[in-house]
């Protein structure tokens, strides 16, 4: 589950956030953007997969429906991996070379976690693609118990009726933790207050931007 990735040799820095929906990624990303901007850094916010994938029929089927019989999940995973590769090489790399601090909501780690959580444990192609993905300077994995994360999602008016499989979310949560541990990611508990979480994140980011 350890990924070999391409070192970031640009003047910019890449910061990524992964975790379950409802774990607090958006809150911490927004706080980080505000702080870095106030510190005088050029900041670029982005996300993976891109809207091109998010709005596709196959992606929406697996996200919103309990019946996935119409589609093959490996096909979606390849689609997402290709999108992440294109986005990393053509969008993120360009910003890094221009000296931006890039903050990405989800990253290639999410692609790996979802693939394994669906039972595709022997697919080696994803590790080959990872070699062409830029390694983050710091990667944060926000951890929150599944029931609390689902509760947060349900409180969003537009997602109160969204289909969510708790068992799958539990597998995904545990895989994020394992991936973080094997790839030198920083695990941050979202059970802590927003400010406490942010102080932990700010400490790590400060360390890399002032290196």
Q: What is the number of domains present in the chain?
A: 1
Quick check: is 162 in a domain? yes
| Residue 46: strand pairing partners | 104
Low-confidence ranges of the chain (pLDDT < 70): none
Whole-model pTM: value is: 0.96
Whether 8 is covered by a domain: the verdict is no
Residue 6 lies inside a defined structural domain of this protein:
no
Range of the domain at 200: 13-209
């Amino acid at each position: 589950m350890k990924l070999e990735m391409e070192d970031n040799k640009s003047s910019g820095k890449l910061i990524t956030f992964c975790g379950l929906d409802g774990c607090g990624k958006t809150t911490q990303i927004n706080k980080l953007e505000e702080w870095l901007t106030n510190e005088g850094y050029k900041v670029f916010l982005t996300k993976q997969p891109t809207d091109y994938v998010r709005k596709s029929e196959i992606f929406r089927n697996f996200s919103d429906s309990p019946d996935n019989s119409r589609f093959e999940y490996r096909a979606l995973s390849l689609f997402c991996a290709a999108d992440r590769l294109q986005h990393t090489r053509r969008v993120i790399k360009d910003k890094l070379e221009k000296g931006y601090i890039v903050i990405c909501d989800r990253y290639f780690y999410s692609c790996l976690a979802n693939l394994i959580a669906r039972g595709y444990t022997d697919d080696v192609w994803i590790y080959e693609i990872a070699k062409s993905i830029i390694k983050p300077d710091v990667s944060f994995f926000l951890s929150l118990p599944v029931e609390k994360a689902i509760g947060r999602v349900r409180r969003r008016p537009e997602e109160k009726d969204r289909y969510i499989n708790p068992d799958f979310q539990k597998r995904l949560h545990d895989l994020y933790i394992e991936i973080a541990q094997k790839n030198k990611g920083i695990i941050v508990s979202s059970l802590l207050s927003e400010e406490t979480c942010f102080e932990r994140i700010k400490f790590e980011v400060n360390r890399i931007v002032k290196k």
